[in-house]
Amino acid sequence: MTVERAVRMLAGTLILASLALAHFVSLNWLWFTAFVGFNLFQSAFTNWCPAMSILKMLGLRSADAKGCC
């Protein structure tokens, strides 16, 4: 799995989890949803997000790395 795919999967999971928590626990979890959305928005302009750095440190390769399909 590449870093880019893992970031999308992680973001989707966090958004769905925070929406479920907002529904069942507290509406304040929507702030976390907004935080994830803001990070996705800013990464479109900067091509950087904290999750990408962490996933690269964990050994995932970038899609533009050699050996990719």
Rounded CA separation 49/7 (Å): 9
59 in Cβ contact with 45 (< 8 Å): no
pLDDT in tens, 5-20: 999 999 999 999 999 9
Domain ranges for the chain: 3-57
Q: Which amino acid is at 28?
A: N
Mean pLDDT computed over 19-47: 95
Rounded CA separation 39/36 (Å): 5
Mean pLDDT computed over 28-41: 96
**Quick check: 37 pLDDT over 60?**
yes
pLDDT at residue 66, as a whole number: 58
Strand partners, 61: 2
Q: Which amino acid is at 60?
A: L
Percentage of the residues of the chain whose pLDDT score is greater than 70:
93
DSSP state of 49: -
pLDDT at residue 69, as a whole number: 47
